[in-house]
Amino acid sequence: MQLDGSAPNQPQAPNQLDVAVVQFAPGTDPSANLSALREHARVAGERGAAVVVAPEYSMFAVGRLDERVVAVAEPLTGPFVTGLGAIAREFGVHLVAGMVERVEGDDSRIHNTLVVLGPDGNLGTVYRKVHLYDAFGHRESDVVAAGPIETPAIFVVEGVTFGMQTCFDLRFPEGIRRVATAGAQVLVLPAQWIPGPAKVDQWTTLLRARAIENTVYVAAADQAAPRGAGASMLIDPTGAVLAELGDEPGVLTASIDLARLAEIRTTNPSLALRRFAITERI
């Protein structure tokens, strides 16, 4: 491992795709956040990453949600998503990041939204967070409208299928199982995992469990300190940590290896052996 937690650069093998996870500390200036994210995306692109994953609330981050986040909300055609598209196009990557989306017809709440921008700069897949963080003394639902229950948000890059969830979604294994059974080979999980007692232990345990039980790679991008707990990581389908960070900003890279994934799913066919389906709770 390199000092920043990334796997050493190696020649790309067939059926492999390099993924990068960005950990930084966004604040309350969307333009400054874009500039910081651009620098990390540049590093990721130089390392050969085809997909770059940035944290939840990359656009605007505060310690506790209130009217400030509503005031800054933008549509998907706004300057932040447009800026993400410019970064993706400049470095030729697929860029995933969390933004604060305006809710049409509702001036009091926002969507906590993940967007995927392609190397052409165009908006692709969109995911609006389903499980809201009404826990540990926080009430995300006071200002955030939950996303609708839809077909799992999936995107494909060079034959590798990625599925998306956000932060608190990690605590709900059935939601991530839906993503895996929809064909995801990699779970992309941007977060602002709020620091607190045992929170990093819970984060790392849950990430590895989701990788193991669904036999998927996991690319988890948390915010850096002070508003995030850090510990961003890339995990393989056995739960082995390929690369990880502490609580400071940085960039991780590792390879998604479809041949290894196929081998693991043959040895541990848990998806094929499952006996229960997932249904929406009314």
Pairing of strands 51-53, 94-103: parallel
Ramachandran angles phi, psi of 107, nearest 5° = -90, 5
Residue 39: active-site member: no
Catalytic site residue from 74, 101, 129, 213: 129
DSSP-based three-state secondary structure for 9: coil
Residue 56: active-site member: yes
Under a CB-based contact definition with an 8 Å cutoff, are residues 84 and 46 in contact?
A: no
Catalytic site residue from 56, 101, 140, 244: 56
Rounded CA-CA distance 132/168 in Å is 7
Residue 158: active-site member: no
Catalytic site residue from 74, 101, 167, 213: 167
Rounded CA-CA distance 273/67 in Å is 47
Give the strand order in the sheet containing 16-23: 123-128, 106-117, 94-103, 51-53, 16-23, 250-257
DSSP per position, 154-205? EEEETTEEEEE--GGGGG-HHHHHHHHHTT-SEEEEEE-----TTHHHHHHH
First vs last Cα of the chain: how many Å apart?
Answer: 46
| Sign of torsion over alpha carbons 272, 124, 54, 147 | negative
Kindly provide the residue ranges of all beta strands, DSSP E only, lying in 51-91, ordered along the sequence: 51-53
Pairing of strands 186-191, 160-164: parallel
Ramachandran angles phi, psi of 155, nearest 5° = -140, 155
Which residues are catalytically annotated? 56, 129, 167
